Structure formats: structure tokens, C-alpha cells
Amino acid sequence: MTWQGSSDAPPLARIAALAPSLQRGERRVVEAIVADRSGTVERTAQELADAVGVGRTTVIRAVQSLGYEGYPQLRVALAQELAQEPADAGDSDSTMVGGVRAGVARFAAKLGGTVSALAEEDVREFLHLLDASQRVLVLANGLSSALGLDLVLRLNSAGRPSEILMDALSQQISARQLGPGSLCIVISGSGASRATLDGMRAARAGGARIVAITSFARSAVATAADVVLLVPPINDSFQDELIHTSRAGIMLVIEQLVDQFIAYRGERGREAQAASLSVLGGGLLE
């Protein structure tokens, strides 16, 4: 299986989404690429293989897993990615506030990669299913639970009644009763939540369509879904993702997807938004 996200996705976004599922040798290759992108641009495939301690064929397999025809195409993509990155101004502020600002700046610099893997046809199919389905159930557990609740609140405000349950057993029961013509939206950063996968199997047994919003292209959640909206992790490596488990990128994408849904529904979307705003306005104090 090779890269199935957007063809515009840069190398770092592809590596972030695919690295955990690559074979050991291929993973060593992509880790070396991430560690020295500029050096990779200058190296041949054989030189990279020698540096990593693998065969040239392993390098080629890794490159093709990332969705590139060959090593020259990867080198060009890396050069383009490096050219588009802002210059690093350094961390001159050692205060706590300075640390917060530096972290936000690093996050902002990677936002392009976070949304680069989204494919137009997948977003359109998601919006169509969201609009046409009889019922919408959102499954989200662990650190993704808050994102699931946020999505349900936003969808209800946009005129698309949706539901979420926090108890794993209740999730499975509700998912099993969805039936054909219903939609199950799954949010899972890791793509490996056991409770979420159990809910997905129940939704599949009931005949519902499944859309997954996840960070890793070959995760169990991505494999089990009908449509995958891929949001590569912000962190530099899978180890960083396990430690920091940022869901900020997915949260941002969810907000924008709801905005696109309102636009997709046209007049119905605008009327629902106006109704929500009128209720919100009435609840504010002078």
C-alpha cells in the first residue's frame, strides 16, 4: 500500500502519517530523511542506503511507500519543501512566555503539512454523506473525546442533528442500531483506540457508512473506514506524538469542515446558522 492522500502533500506530512506502519528498514530510511532533509537532497539513493545501513532497494521501497515514483522525485519534493519553509529566527526568549510563543510558532509553521493530506474527493464525499444521512453518530474516545463533543455541538448548531455517547458500551449499542442510510463519524488521532474500533465494527454490522478523521494513513481506524480524512500529526515523530499527543491540528480541521458543510448546504446552512446565532444572542448579558 502506498500514499493515498493528496498528491500535494509534502514529504514531512507523508512521513508523519505513514512512518509507524512502515517496515523496520523503511522506517529507518524515513527517519534518516527527516533528520537531514538537506543532506538527502544532495545524496544518491545508494549513498542514503549506505548511511542508513540498508540496501538500495529498501530506500526505493520507502520512497515509493511515500507515493513518489522514484528517489529523484523525492529529492525534488524535499527541495521544494525546504524552500517554502520560513527561516528559523532562533529561541532568544528563555522565559516561560517565550517558550509558549516559540511552541505556537513551531505549530503555526507546520499547519500547512497538517492539512496538505486532505483529498478533495474525500472531503466532498464526507459533506455529501453528512448532508444526506438519516442519523449521524460521532465516535471518539480518550484524548479525542473532546473533539467529538466539539464536532457534535458545531454540527447541531449548523442544523445537522448529531449525537455522541461517552460510554463505550453505549457507543456500540447505538452504532449497531444506525442502519443503512446513516453515518458514523470516527475521530481518532492514533487510529488505534480499541473502544473506537469496537464501535466501528458495530456500525459496519448495522450497515452505516463510516468516515474517519485520523492522523495515520495505515492505522486500524483508517483501514476500517469508507472515507478517510487524513490529518498528519503536528509532532516530528511517532514518539513525539505518543508523548505530546497534540490534537490541535484535528481540532482546526474539524472547525473548517463544519464551515464547509454550512457552505455546502447553501441557503439551508445559512438559515441554520442564523437561527443558532439568534439563540446565542439571546443568552448574552448586557
- Encode pLDDT of 35-66 as tens digits: 999 999 999 999 999 999 999 999 999 999 99
Indicate if 77 and 126 belong to the same structural domain. Answer: no
> Is residue 92 one of the residues assigned to a domain?
no
Q: In this structure, what CATH number is given to the domain that contains residue 19?
A: 1.10.10.10
Show which of 31, 62, 84 is a domain's final residue.
84
Residues 131 and 173 in one domain: yes
Give the per-residue pLDDT at 200. 97
Task: Write out pLDDT tens, residues 125-164.
Answer: 999 999 999 999 999 999 899 999 999 999 999 999 999 9
Q: Do both 128 and 19 map to the same domain?
A: no
Can you give the CATH number for the domain in which 136 is found? Answer: 3.40.50.10490
**What is the extent of the structural domain holding 191?**
114-282
Q: Where do we find the cell 529523484?
A: 72
pTM: 0.81
Each residue's pLDDT tens digit, 235-257 = 655 555 555 556 788 999 999 99
Show which of 84, 101, 135 is a domain's final residue: 84
Structural domain includes residue 15: yes
The C-alpha angle with vertex 162 and arms to 160 and 165, in degrees rounded to 5, equals: 170
Residue 228 has phi, psi (to 5 degrees) of: -120, 125
Q: Which of 58, 55, 73 is nearest to 14 (CA)?
A: 73
Residue 47 sits in the same domain as residue 132: no
Give dist(CA 238, CA 252) in Å, integer: 20
Decide if 193 is inside a domain.
Answer: yes
Query: Could you tell me if 71 and 135 lie in one domain?
Result: no
Would 2 be classed as within a structural domain? no
Please check whether residues 77 and 139 belong to one and the same domain: no
The pLDDT value recorded for residue 232 is 87
**From edge to edge, which strands make up the β-sheet containing 163-164?**
163-164, 136-140, 183-188, 209-214, 227-230
Give the C-alpha distances (Å, rounded to integers) separating 84 from 14, 77, 88, 235: 16, 11, 12, 19
Number of compact structural domains in the chain: 2
Grid cell for residue 44? 544518491
Give the list of residues 6+ apart from residue 78 with CB closer than 8 angstroms, or none: 11, 33, 37, 40, 41
- Asked whether 185 and 136 are in contact (CB, 8 A), the reply is yes
In terms of Cβ atoms closer than 10 Å to its own Cβ (0-12, 13-18, 19+), residue 92 is exposed
